[in-house]
Amino acid sequence: MKHKLISLILLFIVGLILVTCSGNKPKNYLQEPQSEKILTIWWNRGYYPEEDRSLEKVITEWQEKTDNKVELLFFSPDDILQVAIDALGAGKPPDIFFSYRAGYTLIPQWAWQGKLLDVSDVIAPVKNLYDNTALKSVYLYNNIESKFSNYAVPIMQRGIHIHYWHDLIRDAGLGEEIPQKWDEFWQFWQKAQKVILQQGQDNIYALGLPMSIYGSDTYFVFEQILEANNLKILDKQGKLQVDKPEVRQKLIEVLDWYTSFYKNGYVPPNAVNWINSDNNTNFLNRKTLMTINPTMSIPASQQEDEEIYLNQMRTIEFPYNPNGTEPRYLVSVKQPVIFKSSAHPELAK
C-alpha cells in the first residue's frame, strides 16, 4: 500500500509518548541573569540514551565552531511542559525549547498568543527538504500580529504502526499472511485469541488497544480509526462538527465498534487504566497478540535481541479502509520553538 500522510495537530489531545521517560526536574531551572551570553536549551529527554548523546554531540560541535556557550537541560515528558509554563509566567523562558507533546498541546496556543519567534528564515534554506505535511504543521496563526507564519521548526515525524507476534500466530497454525480487508483483519485477531486459548495458553488477548483517558495513545489510535472510516469531526476551519446529526451518529457507531473489542473480552481488562507505556509492556510481555503504536519504539526496544527483532516480531500496515480504499496515516510532527521573550532569540536561530 502506498502511504499517504496527513498531519495530526489536535489541540484537545492532552499528551503523547508511548514510553514515559524517567527524568527529574532540575533544580533552579528558571533562568538567572547571566554575566556572559549563554544559550539555554530545554529538551525532552530521549527514549534512548543515544538520542541524548547525539544532541550533546551536535551542541558540542556548534560551541567549538562558534565560540558560543550552551546550557542544555533535559526534562522528562511529564515535567517539561509545566516547567515551560512556569518559566514563561516568570518571564525567564529558555532560548530553545523542545517537547514531544508541545506540538499538539501548547505550541499552537503560544503562536496564537504571539509568544513565539517567527522562524521562517530558519526554515527557508532547507524548505525544499520538507514535505508539505511537515510545513503545514508549523504554519500557525498569530492573533497578536494577525498573520500566519512559521513559528516552529520541524525536526522529526512519527507515524502510527501495527506490531504483532509472528511466531505466536505461526505456531498456532494460523498461517503467514494477515488479511488486508477491514472486517477480515479484525476478525482474524479474534479468531487467533480463541485458537491460542484452546491450545492451552492462558492470559493472552487478541488486541492491545488502549481504552484509557490517561494515555494519548488512545487518542492517536482512535483518530486513526476515525480516519479509516472517513469521519471528520473538525471542518477545514477547525470547528467541531459533532453537533451535526450524521456526524454524531457515525461517531457513536465507531465508538461502539471500538469498545466492542473490550466488552467482548478481546482486550486486556486493565486497558481502561493504561498509560502510554502499558500497551507496549503488555505486548512485549506477550499478553497481547498485536498492538498499535504511534512510534517504532516497540521494535526499537528489541534491537539487541536479533531473534525477537528479526524473526518473532512483525510490523505491518493498516488494512484497507472499510470502503476498500487504501489507508491514509496520521502523523505527528515534532518541533522546537524559540520564545520571543527569551534572552537570546537571534542567537537561538
Instruction: Tell me whether residue 324 is in a domain.
Output: no
* Full-model pTM: 0.79
83-136 pLDDT, tens digit each? 999 999 999 999 999 999 898 889 999 999 999 999 999 999 999 999 999 999
Regarding whether 281 and 153 lie in a shared domain, the answer is no
**Residue of 237 and 163 predicted with greater confidence:** 163
27-80 pLDDT, tens digit each? 455 554 444 689 999 999 988 888 899 999 999 999 999 999 999 999 998 899
> Can you give the chain as a three-state secondary structure string?
CCCEEEECCCCCCCCCCCCCCCCCCCCCCCCCCCCCCEEEEEEECCCCHHHHHHHHHHHHHHHHHHCCEEEEEEECHHHHHHHHHHHHHHCCCCCEEECCCHHHCCHHHHHHCCCECCCHHHHHHHHHHCCHHHHHHHEEEECCCCEEEECCCCCEEEECEEEEEHHHHHHCCCCCCCCCCHHHHHHHHHHHHHHHHHCCCCCCEEEECCCCCCCHHHHHHHHHHHHHCCCCCECCCCCECCCCHHHHHHHHHHHHHHHHHHHCCCCCHHHHHCCCCHHHHHHHCCCEEEEEECCCHHHHCCCCCHHHHHHHEEEECCCCCCCCCCCEEEEEEECCECECCCCCHHHHC
Instruction: Tell me whether residue 274 is in a domain.
Output: yes
Regarding whether 312 and 288 lie in a shared domain, the answer is yes
Mean pLDDT of the chain: 89
pLDDT at residue 31 in the model: 52
CATH number for the domain harbouring residue 183: 3.40.190.10
Instruction: Tell me whether residue 202 is in a domain.
Output: yes
Structural domain total, the chain: 2
Regarding whether 8 and 94 lie in a shared domain, the answer is yes
Regarding whether 148 and 41 lie in a shared domain, the answer is yes
| Across 199-205, average pLDDT | 91
Q: Which domain holds residue 85?
A: 4-158+333-348
